[in-house]
A and B are shown apart, each in its own frame.
Chain A
Amino acid sequence: MARSGRGFNSISPAEKVVRYALLLVVLVITVGPFLWQLSTSLKSVSEDVFTQTPTFIPQHPTLSNFAEVAKTIPVWSYAGNSLIVAVLVVLGNAIGATFAGFALAKLRFRGSKLVLGLFLATLILPSEVTIISQYVIVRGLGFADTLIGVALPGAIQMLNVLLMRTAFLSIPADVDAAAIIDGATAWQRLIRIGLPNVRGMLSVVVIFSFIFAWDDFLWPLIVLTDPDKYTLTVGLQYLNGTFSSNPRLIAAGTMIAFLPIVVVFALLQRFFFKGVDAGAIKG
C-alpha cells in the first residue's frame, strides 16, 4: 500500500493536474458567458458581432456603447432607482430582522412560540402565490407605481428573521446571564452582547437583501408602469423588447446591472464564505 505512506490529504501530481483541468473547464462554462457579454459590450460599431469566427478580444475596444445605451433608455437613473430600492430593503431587513430575531431567541414572553410558528409557516408560501394580492394591498396604501411600493413587501423578509434568530440562539446562555444579573435592559443586551456576536449572519442578511432587491424582476414589473421609474431589470427587458437590433447596447446594459453586484459581493464575500463554513446557508 504505497498510498498510505503519504497523509490522506496530500494529492498526487496526476490528481492535481486532473483537478485543475476540471476546474478550468467549469470556469469557462460559468464565467465564459459573462466575459463574452463584456467583450460584446466593448466592440465598436465597425466590428461585425454576428460572425461565424467570433473574436473574443474586441478589435477596437470602446466605451461608446455605454454612452449609447444611456441615450436609448435612462439607464443611469434606472440604476439609481434600483439602488434606492436596494438600500431601503437592506435597511429594513437589517433592522427589522435583527430586532425580531433577537426577541424570538433571547427574550421570554407569552405567545413567543405561536409567533415563531407563524414566521415559520410563511416559508411554505412562495412569494409568487401572494403577489397579486400584495399588489392590491400596495395599491390600496397608495404606493402603486412608486419605488417605495417596490421596496415595501421585501423590506422585512421572514426568512431573514429566522436566520437572525438562529444566530442569536448560538450565543452561549451564560454570556447573557451575566448581563442579566448586572441588570442590563433588553436593549443593552441586544447592542452590547447580541450584535457583536451576530455580525457574520447580519452580513449574510445584508448581502442577500441587497442582491435580492437589485436582481428582482417580477415584482417591480407588476408595480411600476411609468417608464421613468423603472428599476434596472425592468428597464433592460424594455430595452431588449424595443431595441433588440443592436446586441452591443444590450450587452452594455447588462454589464451596468451585473458589475455592481460583483463589486458588492467581492467586498463582502469573506463574511459569506465564513457563514457557509459555520453552516449558516442551509437553503
Chain B
Amino acid sequence: MTHKRWFTPWLLIAPAAVWLVVFNALPAINTLILSFTNAKPLGGGTFVGFANYTRMFDDQQLVDALINSIVYMVVCVPLLTLLPLLLAVLVEKKLRGIAFFRIAFYTPVLASAVVVALIWGWLLNDRGVINGMAEGLGFLSEPLPFLSDRWLLLLSAISLTVWKGLGYYMIIYMSALGNVSRELHEAAAVDGAGPVRRFFSVTVPGVRNTMLLISVLISVFALRVFSELYVLSNGTGGPGGRDMSLVMLIQLYGQGLTGHLGYASALSVLLFVVTVGPMVFLARLNRKES
C-alpha cells in the first residue's frame, strides 16, 4: 500500500530551489538590470543606458585593478599549477608520519584569508621578522617596504595567495595521481628512467587534464581576489588606492548608504564576463578531446 505522491520530490527540493531562486537567480538578473540604472540604496534608480559601462573607460582605478588582476594571474597560474603537483608527488609515498605532513600542508587552506593576511602582514612589516632577519644578516641596509609600495604590496598579496593555495591544489592532485597507472611507472623504471624523467613522461601526462582544470580554477580565483589585498592594505587599497582589485571596487562602490549600486553592478557584470572566459576555454578543450 504505497501512495506515490507526485509532490514528494518537490517537497525535498523546495528549500534548495528557494535558495537557488532568491540568492542566485534573482540577484544575477537584478545585477544585470541595476547595471543600467543609477540606483542608490535609498530610492529607486532610473534607466541610464550604458552610462555605467562608458564610465569604466575613464576609471583609472579600474585600469589599475585590471592590471593587478593580470599580474595576479600571470604569477599565480604557473606557480600554483606546478608547486602543488610536486607536493602531491612528495606526499604520495606512504612514509611513516606522512598523514601528519599531509594535514600540516593543508592548514593554510583552513585559515581565513583575513587571518593569513594578518599573519603575513606581521611577517612582512617594516620591523617584522623578514626585514629584521635580512637586515641582521646584512642582506638589506634598510627594510623593504612590502606593505607600502604598490608593486611590493601586490607581490606580497600574490605570495600569500600562493602559500594559502598550495595545500588545496595538492589535495586535488592527490586524487588525480591515484589514477595514474602504476604499471606505466614501473615499466618506465625498468627501462631505466630516473625519477625526474618519470615525472615528466609519466606523471605530468597522466594528470594533464587536472592541470588544465587547476589552471582555470586559479585564473578565476585570481580574478576574484579580495581579502588578501584588503587586509594587507588595511582597507585602503595601497598607496594611492592603486592596489585595488575588481572585487574591492565592487565592495567600495556597492557598500553603505551612499553606494553607487548601478556602477557596482556594472563592475559585477564585468567580473562575470572576465571569469567566464577561462571556463569557456576549459569547456572547449574538453569538448575537443571527447
A-to-B contact residues, CB < 8 Å? 1, 3-4, 8-9, 11, 16, 19-20, 22-23, 26-27, 29-31, 33-34, 36-37, 40, 50-54, 92, 95-97, 99-100, 102-104, 107-109, 112, 115, 118-119, 122, 124-126, 128-137, 139, 152-153, 155-156, 158, 161, 183-187, 190, 211, 214-218, 221-222, 232-233, 236-237, 240-241, 244, 247, 250-251, 253-254, 257-258, 261-262, 265-266, 269, 273, 276-277, 279, 281-283
Contact = CB atoms under 8 A, between A and B. Distances in A.
B27 A128 contact: no
B20 A158 contact: yes
A107 B12 contact: yes
B22 interface: yes
Given A16-B95, A241-B235, A22 B90 contact: yes
29 contacts: A8-B185, A19-B90, A23-B90, A30-B105, A33-B119, A33-B163, A115-B13, A129-B269, A130-B23, A131-B250, A132-B31, A132-B268, A133-B26, A133-B34, A133-B268, A135-B255, A136-B41, A137-B22, A153-B19, A156-B16, A187-B8, A211-B110, A215-B110, A216-B112, A217-B227, A222-B254, A233-B115, A254-B118, A257-B112
A97 B166 CA distance: 28
B19 to A, nearest CB: 4
Contacts, number: 281
Contact of B27 (A50, A130, A233, A240): A130
4 smallest CB-CB distances across A and B, nearest first, come from A215-B112, A52-B136, A100-B16, A133-B27
Nearest to B216: A283
A9 to B, nearest CB: 8
Contacts of B90: 19, 22-23, 26
A282 B178 CA distance: 13
Interface centre among B119, B192, B213 (most CB of A within 10 A): B119
Given A186-B8, A217-B226, A233-B112, A250 B254 contact: no
A52 B133 contact: yes
B125 A26 contact: no
Given A50-B132, A217-B113, A133 B104 contact: no
Task: Please tell me the size bucket of the interface on B.
Answer: 35 or more
Nearest to B191: A1
A103 B112 contact: no
Interface in B252-266: 254-255, 259, 261, 264-265
Interface SS majority for chain A: helix
Interface centre among B31, B113, B123 (most CB of A within 10 A): B31
B26 A19 contact: no
A97 B174 contact: no
A257 B19 contact: no
A277 B175 contact: yes
A262 B104 CA distance: 10
B16 A99 contact: yes
Interface centre among A3, A19, A23, A37 (most CB of B within 10 A): A23
B281 interface: no
B15 A156 contact: yes
Contacts of B166: 30
B251 A30 contact: no
B16 A96 contact: yes
Interface string B100-132: 011111111011111100111111010111001
B234 A240 contact: yes
Interface string B210-230: 000110010010011011001
A135 B251 CA distance: 11
Interface string B234-256: 11000000000001001100110
